[in-house]
Structures are given as C-alpha cells and as structure tokens.
Amino acid sequence: MPPRNLDRLTRVYGPATWDVYERLDESLNPQGPDWLHELAGRYLQPGDVVLDAGCRDAEHLIRLVRANQITGVGVDPVGIHIERARSAVDAAGLADRITVDQRVMHELPYDEGHFDFVWCRDVLEQVDDLDGALGEVARVMKPMARLLVYTTFATHLLDGRDAEMMRRHIGNVEGNLEVGHVEAAFRRADLRIERKDAIGTEWREYAEERTQPGSRALLRLSRLRRQRDDIIAGHGQDIYDHIEANLHWEIFQFLGKLLPVVYVLTRP
C-alpha cells in the first residue's frame, strides 16, 4: 500500500515551502527603539523642561537632554536606580541640566503646569495606584504638554498558563497589562490620546538581528530550569518564579502574546 501522505511530504519539502524559508531569512529592515527618541524630539523645543517618570539609570533622560537642548528631571522609587542615574549624569557632564530624585510618580514636588513634556518608558506595568500616579503627572504638565508612554499589554494569545506565569513577575501590577484598564485610567486623569502606535514584534526583530537578546533569554531560561532546586534553595521560590516570568517577556513579545504600545497623550 503506497504512503497516504506522499502528496503532503512532497509539498512540505518542495520549493513552495523552502521559498518561504528563504524569504524569512531576509531582514525587513525593522525600526528600532531609537524611533521613540525621534518621536519625542518632534514635541520638544530648546529650553523645555522634561520629566522622566521612572528614569531608572537616566540613560534615556541623558539622551533627550543632549539631543534637544533642554533640561530634565528624573524620578524613580528605587534607590539603586537613583545611585546609578546620578553617576551617569555626572559622567555625562550634565549635572547642571539634569536633577534626579528618589520619588514615586504619585508625589511630585512641583507646581501645576511645571513640565513641557513627560517621558514614561516601560514603567506603567509596575505602577501601583495608576489613577493616583497619572493624576499627579497630569497635574504637573503644562496645558497641551505631551506625555509619551511606552508600555506593554497582554493579547488574546496570552493563554491561562502564560498569564499565570506573568502574575509571578514581582514588579508587575495586576491589571496593568490590560489595555482597557490603562486607557480608562488615562481618561480619568483627563489625558487625551493624541497618538497610538502598536510596535508589535518590530523592536524585537531589530534587537535580535543585532545582539540576539531573545536567544540569550532562552539560554538563560534553559539554565535556570536545570538549576531549579539549587536556585530556589539559595534565593527563594519567589525569585525563581520572577526570573522565569521575566525571561519570557521578550519571547512573548516575539510570539505576539505581549504587545508593546506607544502613546502620545495631551492634557487639554
């Protein structure tokens, strides 16, 4: 009796299939994360005062200040971030143009309408009391100032087991990966969406073509699981679970389970 799947095997291993693989080996010239700085530059004027809400090590604030002849303020709640940010600002020779403070977004010691622009990159996922934080940011924005937000949402492809893993991420706040939840908070803070761009997989493609961070994450994940018992014994179940979830972040963006999105918001 002849094989019943011969026609399928012929198609699978024939030119129609391999032509697609060859096509997939060619770069689509993806746009990289520098586009976010280019976008910010469209709204900045020399002399503007910018707030980086959740500045971490001030890498992005330093770039913004250097490129746009502005002054900046960075706030972050984590002490080690502030130490690194201050060292980076000093090393960049920008201590006269950048101030960095250990603060939360919910309590900003600035008058109403103080800032011309707010940069908030990869932060909202971890902000507790989103209403309080966005309301305070809106308060210190000048009328018609812009708030640039880069954040990540879960998609319908993030199934139950994947979602449960993401909930083990110590930094993330329940609900902040839901687009409806975050956009409703924008509205309650009287922030209007002027622009919304879904980044999709493009930045991940850009990075992988250059430095292979996704491949590194997979290698780390494999090593993590092979050392599971030792790592839990030495560092705790919560740290193991967090790192396992965090190593899936870039991979899930590649797979479309997580969707990076950029907003430009205004305060009417």
Q: Tell me, what's the pLDDT at 7?
A: 87
SS3 167: coil
Upper half-sphere CA count for residue 150 (Cβ side, 13 Å): 18
> Cα separation of 190 and 103, whole Å?
23
In one-letter notation, the amino acid at residue 250 is E
Tens of pLDDT, residues 132-141: 999 999 999 9
pLDDT at residue 199 in the model: 97
Residues belonging to the chain: 268
- In a domain? residue 153: yes
Q: Assess if residue 207 is contained within a domain.
A: no
pLDDT of the residue at 1: 72
Q: Are 89 and 98 in contact (CB under 8 A)?
A: yes
Distance of CA 232 to the CA centre of its chain: 28
pLDDT of the residue at 6: 86
Cβ-Cβ contacts under 8 Å for 143 (sequence gap 6 or more): 113, 267, 268
Q: What is the pLDDT of residues 48-89, one digit of tens each?
A: 999 999 999 999 999 999 999 999 999 999 999 999 999 999
The answer to whether residue 11 is domain-embedded is: no
Q: How many domains are contained in the chain?
A: 1
For residue 157, CA distances in Å to 160, 165, 208 come to 9, 14, 22
User: Is-contact 50 74, C-beta < 8 A?
Assistant: no
Which residue do the tokens 């087991």 mark?
A: 161
- Residue 118 sits in which domain range? 30-160+169-201+257-266
Handedness of CA 191, 197, 201, 204 (dihedral sign): negative
Residue 1 lies in a domain: no
Residues of the chain short of pLDDT 70, as ranges, are none
35, part of any domain: yes
47 occurs within a structural domain: yes
User: According to the model, what pLDDT value does residue 92 have?
Assistant: 98
Find the helix or strand (DSSP H, E) in which 102 lies. Answer: strand 98-102
Instruction: Output phi, psi for 248, to 5 deg.
Output: -85, -10
In a domain, 174, yes or no: yes
Q: For residue 134, is it within any domain?
A: yes
Using CA atoms, how far residue 81 sits from 57, 123, 170, in Å, is 5, 13, 17
**Looking at residue 121, which CATH number applies to its domain?**
3.40.50.150
